[in-house]
Amino acid sequence: MQGQLPQRRVGTKVVAIVGARRCTSHGENIAYRLAFELAQYGVIVVSGLAYGIDSCAHRGCLDAGGITVAVLGTAIDNIYPKAHYRLAERILERGAILSEWPPSVETYNWCFAQRNRIISGLADVLVVVEAAARSGTQSTAAAALDQGKDVYAIPGDITRPLSEGCNRLILDGAQPLISIDNFVQDLTGGTDGRQDSRTKKLAGMARSAQDIIAAMTAGLQSSDEILGYCAGLSVAEFNQQMTLLELRGLVRPCGATRWVLL
């Protein structure tokens, strides 16, 4: 399985999104939404096709109709993990799969760390979503800094091991990414008229619908998280309002009881 790197238009931004394989649901939501939002502005998303943050970034970009590039740590004809073969097929429809290793060449664990310099090298900006203190993600960040790339990290709870890597990157000089909307706007230089559009589409809807949009604007995506945010909202009312919001083009289901804000 191979692909050609999509032609990059002048001015097109490329963002690498990486992080832990064994990530939290919060990390998954952030990676998916960030990639989805970037893709809506024509930003190309690069990652490594791994479990966790990488796959969420690829899927978010693809679900938004964007272009994404996966860099393998294995030979070009050896998709790893095998569970992501279908995802790899989707990527080839909208982007490319790259490897520095030719077909049938045996690769080793150290190859994954070595490929990280390619992920950062393809990008203008690197975003680390979740990472332990010692992880392959740290080598990607180090490579990005050596290449003179901007590095952002999602700050996290200091009691969680998967926040330690990001918090340390920020301590060492990485820029904290504290708002997806602001990050996307600063990167693309675009103006976002979606807020006004949402306000118009919400006109006449129940207060619970507005609470749901507020929860999703805060970064929540799963049904359980949104219900927890919206105090007093019943499951039946939630399902009804989500159907109405989807009909009005404000939200979109993305599987596994998760939703994305449009």
47 within domain boundaries:
yes
What pLDDT shows up at residue 8? 46
Instruction: Name the pTM for this structure.
Output: 0.73
* End position of a domain, from candidates 147, 169, 188: 188
Enumerate residue ranges in the chain where pLDDT < 50.
Answer: 1-5, 8-10
CATH code of 43's domain: 3.40.50.450
246-256 pLDDT, tens digit per residue, is: 888 888 887 77
Q: Domain range for residue 235?
A: 194-257
Pair (35, 154) in one structural domain: yes
**What total number of domains does the chain contain?**
2
**Could you tell me if 175 and 223 lie in one domain?**
no
Is residue 35 a part of any domain in this protein? Answer: yes
Q: Which residues pair with 97 in a beta bridge?
A: 70
Residues 147 and 63 in one domain: yes
Instruction: Let me know: does 230 contact 241? Beta carbons within 8 Å.
Output: no
Q: Confirm whether 5 is domain-assigned.
A: no
Q: Residues 121, 212: one domain?
A: no
Residue 7 lies in a domain: no
Last residue within a domain, chosen from 170, 188, 206: 188
Say yes or no: 63 and 110 in one domain: yes
- State whether 25 and 145 are in the same domain: yes
- The verdict on 75 and 133 lying in the same domain is yes
Whether residue 169 is found in the same domain as residue 247: no
Q: What does 54-86 look like in DSSP terms, one character per residue?
A: HHHHHHHHHHTT--EEEE-SS-TT--SSGGGHH
Please indicate, yes or no, whether residues 122 and 141 belong to a single structural domain of this protein: yes
pLDDT digits (tens, 9 = 90+) for 51-100: 999 999 999 999 888 999 999 999 999 999 999 999 999 999 989 999 99
Please tell me whether residues 160 and 31 are part of one structural domain: yes
Residue 127 corresponds to which tokens in the numbers above?
A: 């975003």
* Residue 9 counted as domain residue: no
Residue 22 domain flag: yes
CA geometry: angle at 221 spanning 216 and 224, to 5°? 110
- Return the bridge partners of 98, or none: 71
* Domain boundary residue, one of 159, 188, 217: 188
Residue 44 sits at the vertex; the CA angle it makes with 62 and 194, to the nearest 5 degrees, is 70
Q: Is residue 77 in some structural domain?
A: yes
- pLDDT at residue 11 in the model: 56
Statement to judge: residues 167 and 74 lie in one domain: yes
Do 34 and 161 sit in the same domain of this protein? yes
